[in-house]
Amino acid sequence: MDPSAPLKRFYKTVAVEQDGDGFRVTLDGRQLKSPAKRSLLLPTKALADALAKEWDAQEEHIQPLTMPMMALASTAVDRIGELRDGVIEQIAKYAETDLVCYWTDEPKELAERQAKAWMPYIDWAKETYGAEFKTQTGIMHVEQPENSVRAIREVVEGYNDWELSGLSSATHCTGSILLALSLTEGRIDSAQAFEDSQVDETYQIELWGEDWEAKDRRDVIKKDLQSVVDWLTLIRD
C-alpha cells in the first residue's frame, strides 16, 4: 500500500456531540482524533460545526488542503499541546528580526511604501505593549531592546493553545510578529495583513510582472491569513 496515496473517505455520517465543557466531532459515531491520535475536545460548538462541515464535504478521497480548520486544530493539539514553550519561543523570536523593522533606502518609492505600511505597526507596539522597536535600512541586523522583545514574548505567552495556533500561522505567513498580533487582536483584517506583509513583493511584481510560482505562493498566504481570521472567530465564539 502506497503511504502517499490519498486516503479514501472511510465514513458515512458526521456529527457534533457535546462533551462536558467542550465539543467533539464524530465520524460514524466514533470520536475524531488528531493526526497523532490525540483527543480533539474542541472549545466551542462553532469550531466543532466548522470541522464537521469540512469532514462532511470530503468526497471519494480526503483532501487535507481543503480542511484549514482541521489543520489548525491539529496544530493546537499535536504541536502546541506538546511543545508549547518551544512554540512560544519560536513565535516570540520574530520580535528580534521583525519584517517591519528592515527598510530599504533605495529605490525611494519602495522606501516610502515601507514607511507608510510599517511605521503604524511600530507605533502601535509602543502604544499598546510599551515595546519600542528600532528600524534599519539594509540587511544588517539591528539589536532590538531586550525589554521590548520581552514584552512581546509576554503577550504571546498569554495566548491559549488554540489562539497560539492561529498566531503561529499568521506570524509565519507575514514574517512579522507585530503584523500577526495586529491581525489576531482584530486591529487589521486578513487583506491588510497580506498587503502590508507583501510590500516588497508587490513592488517587484509591478516592475517585472508575476510568474505562476509567485502567484501560487501569494494565493496560499492570502488563504492562510483568512483561515486564521476564521479560526479566531470560531474559537472565540
186: left (phi over 0), alpha (psi -120 to 50) or beta: left
Please give the CATH architecture assigned to the domain spanning 84-235: Orthogonal Bundle (1.10)
Supply the pTM of this predicted model. Answer: 0.94
pLDDT of residue 27: 98
All three cell numbers of 220: 496560499
Domain boundaries, the chain: 1-63, 84-235
pLDDT of residue 126: 98
What residue has cell string 505562493? 217
Could you read off the pLDDT tens digit of each residue along the chain, which spans 237 residues?
444 568 899 999 999 999 999 999 999 999 999 999 999 999 999 999 999 999 999 999 999 999 999 999 999 999 998 899 999 999 999 999 999 999 999 999 999 999 999 999 999 999 999 999 999 998 789 999 999 999 999 999 999 999 999 999 999 999 999 999 999 999 999 999 999 999 999 999 999 998 999 999 999 999 999 999 999 999 997
CB 43 within 8 A of CB 59: no
pLDDT of residue 85: 96
In 3D, which of 192, 178, 183 has the Cα closest to residue 229? 183
Reduced 3-state DSSP string for the chain: CCCCCCCECCCCCEEEEEECCEEEEEECCEECECCCCCECCECCHHHHHHHHHHHHCCCCECCHHHCHHHHHHHHHHHHHHHHHHHHHHHHHHHHHCCHHHEECCCCHHHHHHHHHHHHHHHHHHHHHHCCCCCCEECCCCCCCCHHHHHHHHHHHHCCCHHHHHHHHHHHHHHCCHHHHHHHHCCCCCHHHHHHHHCHHHHHHHHHHCCCHHHHHHHHHHHHHHHHHHHHHHHHCC
All three cell numbers of 120: 503604524
Q: In CATH terms, is domain 1-63 a member of 3.30.2180.10?
A: yes
